[in-house]
Amino acid sequence: MGDVRETRPAGASRKAGRPVVRVTRRLHFSAAHRLGRPDWTDTHNLETFGLCANPNWHGHNYEIDVTVEGRVREATGFVLDLKELRDLVEQRVIADLDHRNLNLDVPWLEGVNPTTENLVVAIWDRVADELPDPIRLVRLVLHETPRNSVEYDGRRLEVA
Ligand code: NI
């Protein structure tokens, strides 16, 4: 039997199935907050949370990278329309957070100490179930400052 080689243009793989690609959209919001626990003294809160425990509030310019995963659709060559993703996150998250006080103004953050970690998990819960099937939320990166960020992929650990 001869060794038959096929030549194909780049990207025209003979592998079955559609490629799965991750797509990221970055969004922005500015918000005020104060970190702390109401059951701790101001001194203890300041020792633990530093400048972010300032009793008279302060703000951050947050950036959030929202990454979804899905198959590349044959018709469009897209996983999804990025405008759709932007609109969803703006409606579910940004509209509630931008230019607000995270401790006082946001019903879905009530009782939450608004650390970047707690925020990214709350944002996950606002977005993950709203994406059109079969697109999945796979990663959020929330930047509180240009130097500090947290990342979340939806995992939870059972703790006793
Ligand atoms: Ni802060």
Report pLDDT digits (tens) over 93-145: 999 999 999 999 999 999 999 999 999 999 999 999 999 989 999 999 999 99
Least-confidence region, from 8-17, 53-62, 76-85, 86-95: 8-17
Report residue 64's pLDDT band, with 50, 70 and 90 as the boundaries. very high
Q: Please tell me the distance between residue 156's alpha carbon and the centre of ligand 1 in angstroms.
A: 25
Report residue 7's pLDDT band, with 50, 70 and 90 as the boundaries. low
- DSSP conformational letter for 43: H
Please, which residues have CB less than 5 A from ligand 1, an ion? 52
In a domain, 3, yes or no: no
Least-confidence region, from 11-25, 26-40, 112-126: 11-25
pLDDT of residue 71 exceeding 70: yes
How are beta strands 20-33 and 100-101 bridged, if at all? Answer: parallel
Supply the pLDDT for residue 69. Answer: 98
How are beta strands 100-101 and 149-152 bridged, if at all? Answer: unpaired
In a domain, 15, yes or no: no
> What are the residue numbers of the active site?
52, 99, 144
Supply the pLDDT for residue 12. Answer: 58
Average pLDDT score, the chain: 92
For residue 114, give its domain range. 20-152
pTM, to two decimals: 0.87
Domains: count for the chain: 1
21 vs 15 pLDDT, higher one: 21
Mean pLDDT of 1-11: 55
| CATH for 130 | 3.30.479.10
Supply the pLDDT for residue 159. Answer: 87
In a domain, 10, yes or no: no
In a domain, 147, yes or no: yes
In a domain, 11, yes or no: no
Query: DSSP H helical segments within 21-130, as ranges?
Result: 42-49, 82-89, 95-97, 116-127
In a domain, 31, yes or no: yes
Q: Please tell me the distance between residue 14's alpha carbon and the centre of ligand 1 in angstroms.
A: 51
Mean pLDDT of 29-51: 94
In a domain, 12, yes or no: no
- DSSP conformational letter for 94: I
- Which residues sit opposite 21 in a β-bridge? 70
Q: Please tell me the distance between residue 130's alpha carbon and the centre of ligand 1 in angstroms.
A: 29
In a domain, 103, yes or no: yes
Q: Please tell me the distance between residue 26's alpha carbon and the centre of ligand 1 in angstroms.
A: 20
